[in-house]
Amino acid sequence: MKHFSILVAFICSISLAQAQTEDSLAIRKIFDEALENGHSYKNLKSLCKDVGARLSGSPEAAKAVVWAKELLESYNFDTVWLQPVKVPHWVRGDKEEAKLNGVPMSIKTLGGSVFSNGLITANVVEIQSFEELEELGREQIEGKFVFYNRAFDRKLISTGQAYSGCVGQRWMGASKASEYGAIGVFVRSLTHHRDDNAHTGSMGYEEGIKKIPAVALGIKDSEILSIMLKEKPASKASMNINPQTLPDKDSYNVIAEIKGKIEPDKVITFGGHLDSWDVGEGAHDDGAGVAHSIEALRLLKKIGYEPQYTLRCVLFMNEENGNNGGKTYAAVAKEKGEFHVAALESDAGGFVPRGFTLDGTKEQVELMQSWEPLLRPYKLHIFDKGWGGVDIGPLKNQNTPLIGLRPDDQRYFDHHHSDTDVFENVHRRELELGCASFAAMIYLVDKYGLGADRGITN
Amino acid sequence: MKHFSILVAFICSISLAQAQTEDSLAIRKIFDEALENGHSYKNLKSLCKDVGARLSGSPEAAKAVVWAKELLESYNFDTVWLQPVKVPHWVRGDKEEAKLNGVPMSIKTLGGSVFSNGLITANVVEIQSFEELEELGREQIEGKFVFYNRAFDRKLISTGQAYSGCVGQRWMGASKASEYGAIGVFVRSLTHHRDDNAHTGSMGYEEGIKKIPAVALGIKDSEILSIMLKEKPASKASMNINPQTLPDKDSYNVIAEIKGKIEPDKVITFGGHLDSWDVGEGAHDDGAGVAHSIEALRLLKKIGYEPQYTLRCVLFMNEENGNNGGKTYAAVAKEKGEFHVAALESDAGGFVPRGFTLDGTKEQVELMQSWEPLLRPYKLHIFDKGWGGVDIGPLKNQNTPLIGLRPDDQRYFDHHHSDTDVFENVHRRELELGCASFAAMIYLVDKYGLGADRGITN
């Protein structure tokens, strides 16, 4: 019996070693192809330069759909199709001006904002938090601009965490200020980077509250405005913006598949979002995720990998201002009774990949962590419980484990939603390493599942 | 007895937990200060913009010594002093021209090269390795230029490893080609980055071999030259450079200390090199290491840490073309019978820190690895056996464990030894995170030693 056990242990250790060797060889092939013959950099260049910024509903977003479909078709995957998605159609307009005591300030209208109805001029009240609104009260706010100036917490190592600590003032700032009679809001741009570029992003209005115009203010001008308000509290700011919300438009998620060889009805979805803001070129946000996803499917095909499950690359529409692509995708999957083994997203830029976070059970996180030895040679070290992504988020309701690619985040918010999110600020090798890392994780999820074999159903 | 053991284990675990809490609080303080009130970015800016490129022997290198001494004195450390170092004095000259069939090519004379003695023109033989020289033989090489065109291996994840695979052609290329009668060499720039900037660096001549001129060629021009040689093998290149080697000069390592409170005679040395090449601003190489080192000492003083051993920040002179600063430092340490607990170096750029490598015993590497839980929250993951640094290298003979800071290396060789190694290409937070990481490692080495307590002596 003892000898038998040793024999079994020996055989098991051989098969484990063989599996590890097979996996490490496959992952090596993925990285070699991405780094030596990668398509991601030229694909991203084309998306940025031939299509450009592509806000949902815009002609450029429509062009991006065609661009993506044609590119995916050129790779001869098993299927490529468009999934209809209804999207909002907000346009910035041709006026975007603000001044402080007559001197121009750098602004960007926030996505979703109403127009100012011509030039509006008023005093300004600076605050750091919503609590201060209440302390100041209507008498000190009514008829004025509110200036939200809470800065990123520099002490936080994760810039994403710093962003989370401030994004509320962008999203809800206008409604909160409107409650106290403000006529408009300036929001400090959500970045560490001290430059003159204002960073846009989405905002919303609470039901039943008067809608007031909202703009992001560049960091340098935020600092100047803050100093001026201390020195000359009677300073006057002005704002003139004319954005419009037009009727919703028809658009699409763009999807490509390699069919599973063993269980084709079970799906691994991975993707990024095809839309971007209407400034810069949407290079890191999320051209990189688009390039990562397309390249991941190409890499897996190129190395001749035959997946167990169906591998589905989804380029989602409308992450930036509505997430209708993600919502539609999850709704359709539910309607069709599709089983998702996992969903993966790349929407954190094209910087050097550091690892992955998984939004799922403890067991799923531990399973992912068991792959660390295979990925450590590629300097992937983060395998933590954490955020998946906005687009794949709605699949959470179907018990799908969600995995987010985690590139280094120190530079991400320098460019986020601003004029500098352009192709030139993406580094070729960093992008290529991201593609290979993403493909390697998809490979491992396909090989070992993440609980699909444990009978979790929708 | 059993109860006593449990009690001892309990007490030990309490002290361990207390020590860990104390350490994690100290490290948190280090990072907070670096990120919120850091001096490194402005110090680096001053070094790059007020001093500039600073090759050993140049007036700028002399200025850098004064700059560093004054800056260190401003922090009121226990002592600041200059350690004399004799350095080579090579100057680039005012001619640096090359052409291919009459069309200009982007070159940089390699440091240490002799002059071309006016315009020289000849056919070109392209090779990838020294073995090819032998295969071609004198008859195909004599009277011609040799063009070393071995490219970085893109498949290697570590760009440093790719550099190692090619640096031989820069260092020894001229001597090897001269053996076969070549009149000069062009060396493909040592970088992945496809641009027009040639990247300089040091080269040497073997004893007794005729010295021929050597230049680095930009990547794009290397590719063009390679194509032209295939299409028109009779193509002619020309070269005109007039560098000079002048008599050695007097210079200095710049040193500052905080005295150890328990064993002041034992020393932890850490530093970067103050000299740079004479192009760009030496921002990543090694202005970042200088900024890291000065800031590390400032951070440890600022948080009120009282070191066990003497903490010594050394800004070495002449790493780039001779390492006389490092050699002198080790020789003086040996002469004085100084005991080094450890030596640490930052000479791999100001990019986001990924961890550390240690050149020492297995036990020392394991001890460093035991600190991983304290450093992982700061996204430091690499704690491997590996390279220390050039400047601290000579201390290896005194059994000193050598530790190298490992920033991310994907972008490093884009700028290395070229016109683009300027302040603008250093990212503030990445630099600050490097400072704090370096300081945290110095703190841990000071707290727990690396074998100093095991009686290793010089």
pLDDT above 70 for B134: yes
**pLDDT, averaged across chain B:** 95
Is the Cβ pair B157, A410 closer than 8 Å? Answer: no
Q: What confidence tens digit (pLDDT) does each residue in A287-316 have?
A: 999 999 999 999 999 999 999 999 999 999
What is the longest distance spanned by two Cα atoms in chain B? 90
Asked if the Cβ–Cβ distance from A378 to B157 is below 8 Å, we say yes
User: How many whole angstroms separate alpha carbon B453 and alpha carbon B450?
Assistant: 8
Q: Identify whether the C-beta of residue A120 lies closer than 8 Å to the C-beta of residue A97.
A: no
Question: Which residues from chain A sit within 8 angstroms of residue B420, using beta carbons?
Answer: none
A427 contacts on B by Cβ (under 8 Å): 410-411, 414
Mean pLDDT, rounded, of chain A: 95
pLDDT digits (tens, 9 = 90+) for A427-451: 999 999 999 999 999 999 999 998 7
| Closest approach of B381 to chain A, Cα-based (Å) | 6
Q: What is the ipTM of this complex?
A: 0.95
Quick one: which of A411, A407, A436, A406 has its CA closest to A425?
A411
Chain B: nearest CA to A154, how far in angstroms? Answer: 6
Residue A16: its pLDDT value, please?
Answer: 73
Residues from chain A that touch B410, judged by Cβ atoms under 8 A, are 352, 427, 429-430, 433
Say how far apart CA A454 and CA A369 lie, in whole Å.
Answer: 18
Query: Residues in chain B, how many?
Result: 458
| Nearest CA distance, B143 vs chain A (angstrom) | 36
Q: Are B6 and B275 in contact (CB under 8 A)?
A: no
Share of chain A above pLDDT 70, in %: 95
Lowest mean pLDDT: which of A115-124, B14-23, B130-139?
B14-23
Q: What pLDDT, on a 0 to 100 scale, did the predictor assign at position A15?
A: 74
Q: Within 10 Å of residue A262's Cβ, how many Cβ atoms?
A: 10
Asked if residue A259 lies in contact with residue A107, where contact means CB atoms within 8 angstroms, the answer is no
Sign of CA pseudo-dihedral A53, A293, A273, B377: negative
Task: Give the CA angle between residues B26, B30, B34 to the nearest 5°.
Answer: 170
The sheet that has A382-385: what strands, in order across it? A79-91, A244-258, A309-316, A263-273, A339-345, A402-407, A353-359, A382-385
User: Can you tell me whether residue A368 is helix, strand or coil?
Assistant: helix
3-state SS assignment for residue B252:
strand
Q: What's the confidence (pLDDT) of residue A76?
A: 98
For an interface test with B, the pick among A194, A351, A375, A408 (most B C-beta atoms closer than 10 Å) comes out as: A408
pLDDT tens track for B147-188:
999 999 999 999 999 999 999 999 999 999 999 999 999 999
Check CB contact of A433 with chain B, cutoff 8 Å.
yes
Q: Do A36 and B382 touch (CB under 8 A)?
A: no
Q: How close A28 comes to chain B (CA, Å)?
A: 9
Whether A415 and A195 have beta carbons less than 8 Å apart is answered as: no
CB of A157 within 8 Å of any CB in chain B? Answer: yes
Contact B155 A378 (CB under 8 A): no
Cβ proximity of B98 and B240 under 8 Å: yes
| Residue A36 sits at the chain B interface (C-beta within 8 Å) | yes
Contacts of A378 in chain B (CB under 8 A): 157
Q: Where are the beta strands (DSSP E) in A211-349?
A: 214-217, 236-241, 244-258, 263-273, 309-316, 339-345
Mean pLDDT, to the nearest integer, of B75-99?
98
User: Residues 6 or more apart from A172 whose CB is under 8 A from it?
Assistant: A130, A203, A204, A206
The pLDDT confidence band at residue A457, using thresholds 50, 70 and 90, is very low
Instruction: Check if the beta carbon of residue B189 is closer than 8 Å to that of residue B218.
Output: yes
User: Cβ of B157 and A377 within 8 Å?
Assistant: yes
- Residue A379 forms contact with B (CB below 8 Å): yes
> How would you label A2-22 residue by residue, b for 16+ Cβ within 10 Å and e otherwise?
eeeeeeeeeeeeeeeeeeeee
Closest to A91 measured CA to CA, from A222, A278, A227: A278
Contacts of A157 in chain B (CB under 8 A): 31, 377-379, 433
3-state secondary structure (DSSP) of residue B376: helix
List the single residue in B with minimal CA-CA distance to A437.
B157
> How confident is residue A458, by pLDDT bands cut at 50, 70 and 90?
very low
- Nearest Cα to Cα of residue A64 among A220, A275, A314, A327: A275
In which order are the strands placed within the sheet that holds A120-127?
Answer: A103-104, A96-100, A236-241, A120-127, A145-148, A184-188, A214-217, A107-109
Q: Are the Cβ atoms of A379 and B354 closer than 8 angstroms?
A: yes
Min distance B174 CA to chain A CA atoms (Å): 29
Task: Point out the residue among A35, A354, A430 whose CB comes nearest to the CB of B155.
Answer: A35
Strand A382-385 to A353-359 pairing: parallel
Q: What is the pLDDT of residue B17?
A: 77
Which two tokens mark A318? 């409308």
Which residue in the set B157, B381, B430 is minimally distant from A410, CB to CB? B430
Q: pLDDT tens digits, residue range A194-224? A: 988 999 999 999 999 999 999 999 999 999 9
pLDDT of residue B7: 65
Structure token pair of residue B342: 């450890």
Mean pLDDT of B236-260: 98
Q: What does the pLDDT average to over B369-396?
A: 98
Kindly indicate the confidence band of residue B5, based on its pLDDT and cuts at 50, 70 and 90: low
pLDDT at A5 over 70: no
pLDDT of B3 strictly over 70: no
Averaged pLDDT, A61-90: 98
Residue of A25, A42, A376, A381 best to disrupt the B interface, most CBs of B under 10 A: A381
* Rounded average pLDDT over B131-146: 97
| Helix, strand, coil share (%) of chain B residues, nearest 5 | 40, 25, 35
**Predicted local confidence at residue A455, as pLDDT:** 47
pLDDT at A422 over 70: yes
Q: Tell me the pTM.
A: 0.95
Which of A33, A428, A435 to substitute to test the interface with B, most B CBs within 10 Å?
Answer: A428
In terms of Cα–Cα distance, which of B274, B275, B260, B437 is closest to B340? B260
Above 90 in pLDDT, residue B287?
yes
Q: A40, A34 in Cβ contact below 8 A?
A: yes
The three-point CA angle B329-B330-B336 to 5° equals: 90
Residue-level pLDDT at B10: 66
A35 to chain B, any CB pair closer than 8 A? The answer is: yes
Chain A touched by B192 (CB under 8 Å): yes
Enumerate the residues of chain A whose CB falls inside 8 A of the CB of residue B36. Answer: 154-155
Q: What confidence score (pLDDT) does residue B295 get?
A: 99
Nearest 10 degrees: CA dihedral of B335, B341, B347, B350?
A: -140
How confident is the model at residue A197, as a pLDDT?
92
pLDDT (mean) for A141-147: 98
Mutate which of B356, B379, B428 to test chain A, going by most A C-beta atoms within 10 A? B379
Q: If you measure CA to CA, which chain B residue comes closest to A34?
A: B155
- Nearest residue, CB atoms, B36 vs list A155, A428, A433: A155
Q: For residues B344 and B268, what is the distance between their CA atoms, to the nearest angstrom?
A: 8
Q: How far is B38 from chain A (nearest CA, A)?
A: 11
**pLDDT score at A171:** 97
- The H-or-E segment that residue A404 falls in is strand A402-407
Candidate from A32, A354, A429 with C-beta closest to B192: A429
Distance CA B296, CA B312 (A): 10
- To the nearest whole angstrom, how far is the Cα of A219 from the nearest Cα of chain B? 15
Determine the distance in angstroms separating the CA of B398 from the nearest CA of chain A, rounded to an integer: 32
Query: What is the 8-class DSSP label of residue A311?
Result: E
A410 with B36: Cβ contact below 8 A:
no
**pLDDT score, position B155:** 98
DSSP B425: G
B336: pLDDT strictly greater than 70: yes
pLDDT attached to residue A18: 79
Q: Give A142→chain B minimum CA distance, Å.
A: 35
Quick: pLDDT tens for A368-399.
999 999 999 999 999 999 999 999 999 999 99
Residues in A closer than 8 angstroms to B35, CB to CB, are: 154-155
Q: Residue A452 — very low, low, confident or very high, per pLDDT cuts 50/70/90?
A: low
Q: What does the alpha-carbon distance between residue B17 and residue B374 come to, in Å, rounded to a whole number?
A: 12
Q: Which two tokens stand for residue B202?
A: 């040091």
Task: Determine, for residues A35 and B433 on separate chains, whether the beta-carbon distance falls below 8 Å.
Answer: no
Count of CB pairs separated by less than 8 Å, A with B: 57
Between B11 and B30, the higher pLDDT residue: B30
Q: Which residues of chain A make contact with B414, given a CB cutoff of 8 A?
A: 427
Rounded to an integer, what distance in angstroms lies between the CA atom of residue B114 and that of residue A82? 64
The pLDDT score that the predictor gives to residue B457 is: 41
CA gap A347, A285 in Å, rounded:
7
Please tell me the predicted confidence (pLDDT) of residue B195.
Answer: 87
**How far is residue A231's CA from residue B93's CA, in Å, rounded to a whole number?**
54
Task: Please report the pLDDT score of residue B458 as a whole number.
Answer: 34
Which chain A residue has its CA at the smallest distance from B378's CA?
A157
On whether the CB atoms of residues A171 and A133 are closer than 8 A, the answer is no
B429 in contact with chain A, both atoms CB, cutoff 8 A: yes
pLDDT category of residue A334 using cuts at 50, 70 and 90: very high
Facing B155 at nearest CB: one of A36, A352, A410: A36
Q: What is the pLDDT of residues B406-449, one digit of tens each?
A: 999 999 999 999 999 999 999 999 999 999 999 999 999 999 99
